[in-house]
Amino acid sequence: MRQKGFTMIEILVVIVVFGVGILAILTMLTNSIGYFDTVNMQTRATMLAKEALDLAYNHRDSNLEQGYPRNYVGYDETNNKEIVRTPWEVYKLGFSKEGYYLLEKSKKQSDFSSNFDAFRVALEIGDGKLPSYYRYLEEKDASTDVSKGFARRVEFSTVKWGEFPTVEWGVFSPNKLLKISSHALYQRGSTTGEVVLEGFIGLKDSKVEEASQTTN
Total structural domains within the chain: 1
pTM for the structure as a whole: 0.73
Instruction: Name the pLDDT band for 210 (thresholds 50, 70, 90).
Output: very low
pLDDT digits (tens, 9 = 90+) for 154-188: 998 888 877 766 667 778 777 778 888 999 999 98
Domain that holds residue 154: 2-215
- The phi and psi torsions of 122 (rounded to 5 degrees) equal -135, 150
